[in-house]
Amino acid sequence: MKEKTLGVLGGVGPLATVYFAKLLVEMTKADCDQSHISSVILNHASIPDRTEYILDNSKPNPLPVMIEDAKKLEKMGVDFIVIPCNTAHYFYEQIQSNVSIPLVNIIEETVDYAQKTVKNLRKLGILATKGTITAKSYQRACEKRDIEPAVPSIQDEQSLMHIIYNQVKAGKRVDLQLFLNIIETMKNDGCDAVVLGCTELSVIKHEFNIKRPDVIDSLEVLAKRSIELCGKELAVEM
């Protein structure tokens, strides 16, 4: 079997991209270097902010840069591309149409995973950037599967944006209790599970060792799928 190579269109954001690379190593069943997957990682931190553009189209457009990066990865010979950023999937179809190799959709994969692993899943909470919520990316994925999507209140959405941009992306201390309170609010509102639909939130889950079956980590789901597509075994089943 020909070895598969993963292309990572990263830098959105840089810390989440580095954590994704760590997940690829930690989640692969390997007893030597050669047992791990091969990857090409483009950690392009200067890509314009995705949420900023979604909310205001007069802001710098990240799409041309992401298309250029996807084409670079394709020329490097990767077999498929992943983007460790949920908000960037607002541009999924346009990026995919500009390359001939598959672009894995983190949002579709995450909702599929939630449906398969959460028993009697009826209502799914979405914790994400204002850009992802406004784009309704997760809402549409849920509705296609007859799952009711739920989004945070305006106040909790503002708190999440503060955590994502002013704490994780800024390299500052994270207000863990505020983050956990938002999760509990979603659960108390009837959500059977909550998706971490922003990869900066995945970084929080990792740093604070949050292990809950009702908290679905989109970055872990993407890493799992990447390992499978490369024909490797998972070290531990999620």
Of the candidates 38, 34, 42, 87, the residue with the CA atom closest to the CA atom of residue 62? 87
85 in active site? yes
198 in active site? yes
Q: Which of 32, 142, 191, 198 does the annotation list as catalytic?
A: 198
Long-range contacts of 68-75 (CB under 8 A, 24+ apart): 69/9, 69/42, 69/44, 70/7, 70/9, 70/95, 70/98, 70/99, 70/103, 71/98, 71/99, 72/42, 73/7, 73/8, 73/9, 73/40, 73/42, 73/99, 74/7, 74/99, 74/100, 74/101
Q: Which of 85, 142, 191, 230 does the annotation list as catalytic?
A: 85
How far apart are alpha carbons 194 and 114 in whole angstroms?
A: 9
Please give the positions annotated as active site.
85, 198
